[in-house]
Amino acid sequence: MRGNVISYIQMCQKEGVSLQRGMNFRLKGRHSVILMSVRPNSPYRDEIRDDGAVLIYEGHDVPKQKGVSDPKSFDQPQRLPSGTLTENGKFHQAAQEFKAGKKGRDIVKVYEKIKTGIWTDNGFFHLVDSWIENDGIRNVFKFKLVAVESVSDELAAVENVNQHVEHSRIIPTSVKLEVWARDRGKCVICGAIDELHFDHIVPFSKGGTSLKAENIQLLCARHNLSKSSKIE
C-alpha cells in the first residue's frame, strides 16, 4: 500500500528477489521496481514534481571497476560491452515504445529511502517518457513516471495504452521526515512501532493535501484500517 513504512528485508520479501540494484526491469515478468531517494546526499538526482504526481528518475552509472575510478565522469550506459541492454536501456526502450504507440505503459513499483534503514512504499507508477540530457559533465538518462491507483500487476507489460487510470499523489520526502520526527516513529494512537503507514488525516479525495505535515500522521496497520473503514 502506498505510504507504508517498510524495511529493506521486507521489500525483498515482498518482491521475491534480492533488490541489490536500484533499477530492476520487469521482475519475474511482472512490474519493474526502482529504488529512489531525494535526500541531499543521494547518488542520483531524482525529483518529485507536480505536487507528488510525477517522479523524474535518473538513470544509473557505469559500475565502478578497473579503469573507472569515477563513474560520474562517464556517460550513463545504454548497453553493456556485449551489446545487451543495461537497465537504463531496458527502461528507455520501454518508454520510447509506449510513446510510439507500439505498446502499453510499463508499470513500475517505487520504493523510497527516507532515512538509513527506513523506506516507504510509494506505490505504482506508469513509465510514460524518457530522454537523455547532459548534466554539464556527461549524458544521463531521465525517466518520467506518473503515480497511479488500481493498476494490474500481472498485466504490467501489456497495459492498454488508452486505459483510464486514476492518478494519485505521493507525500514529499521533506514532509515524511517532518512527520516521522514529530510522531517519533510511532503510531499516534497506540504507540506501535511496526507496520506503520503515512496517513492523510483528511483524504486527498476529500480535499486533503500531501504537501503539509499538519495533514499527515503515522498510524499502525490496525488503526489505519480502522480509519479507512469509518471513512468508507
Contact 22, 217 (CB under 8 A): no
122 and 31 share one domain? yes
β-sheet bridge partners, residue 55: 48, 145
**Which has more pLDDT, 85 or 211?**
85
Task: Determine, yes or no, domain membership for 53.
Answer: yes
115 and 214 share one domain? no
State the SS3 of the chain: CCCEEECHHHHHHHHCCCCCCCEECCHHHCCEEEEECCCCCCCCCCEEEHHHCEEEEECCCCCCECCECCHHHCCCCCECCCCCECHHHHHHHHHHHHHCCCCCCEEEEEEEEEECCEEEEEEEEEEEEEEEEECCCCEEEEEEEEEEECCCCCCHHHCCCCCCCEECCCCCHHHHHHHHHHCCCCCCCCCCCCCEEEEECCCHHHCCCCCCHHHEEEEEHHHHHHHHHHHC
198 and 98 share one domain? no
With pLDDT > 70 as the criterion, what percentage of the chain qualifies? 89
Residue 230 has pLDDT above 70, yes or no: no
Among 170, 190, 212, residue at a domain's last position:
170
Among 170, 203, 222, residue at a domain's last position:
170
Residue 158 has pLDDT above 50, yes or no: no
24 and 105 share one domain? yes
101 and 188 share one domain? no
Task: Determine, yes or no, domain membership for 185.
Answer: yes
Residue 108's alpha-carbon distances to 18, 83, 217, 226, in angstroms, are 17, 25, 26, 29
What's the whole-number mean pLDDT along residues 70-96? 96
What's the whole-number mean pLDDT along residues 204-217? 88
137 and 199 share one domain? no
In whole angstroms, give the CA distance from residue 229 to residue 225: 6
Which residue range(s) make up the domain with 146? Answer: 7-170
Highest mean pLDDT among 2-11, 109-118, 157-166, 183-192 belongs to 183-192
215 and 151 share one domain? no
Residue 161 has pLDDT above 50, yes or no: no
pLDDT of residue 90: 98
Contact 117, 172 (CB under 8 A): no
Task: Determine, yes or no, domain membership for 144.
Answer: yes
181 and 165 share one domain? no
Grid cell 471513512 in the structure block, residue: 231
pLDDT of residue 135: 93
Residue 155 has pLDDT above 80, yes or no: no
Which CATH number covers residue 107?
Answer: 2.30.280.10
Instruction: Please name which of 52, 76, 49 lies closest in space to residue 63, comparing C-alpha atoms.
Output: 76
pLDDT tier for residue 228 given thresholds of 50, 70 and 90? low
Residue 160 has pLDDT above 90, yes or no: no
Phi, psi of 204 (to 5 degrees): -60, -35
User: How many structural domains does the chain have?
Assistant: 2
pLDDT tier for residue 165 given thresholds of 50, 70 and 90? low
42 and 132 share one domain? yes
**Mean model confidence pLDDT for the chain:** 87
105 and 47 share one domain? yes
68 and 129 share one domain? yes
pLDDT of residue 145: 96
pLDDT of residue 78: 97
61 and 166 share one domain? yes
Task: Determine, yes or no, domain membership for 1.
Answer: no
Task: Determine, yes or no, domain membership for 2.
Answer: no
pLDDT in tens, 6-62: 999 999 998 999 998 899 999 987 899 999 998 888 889 999 888 788 999 999 999
Among 117, 148, 170, residue at a domain's last position:
170
pLDDT in tens, 93-151: 999 999 999 998 999 999 999 888 889 999 899 999 999 999 999 999 999 999 987 55
Task: Determine, yes or no, domain membership for 195.
Answer: yes
Residue 205 has pLDDT above 80, yes or no: no
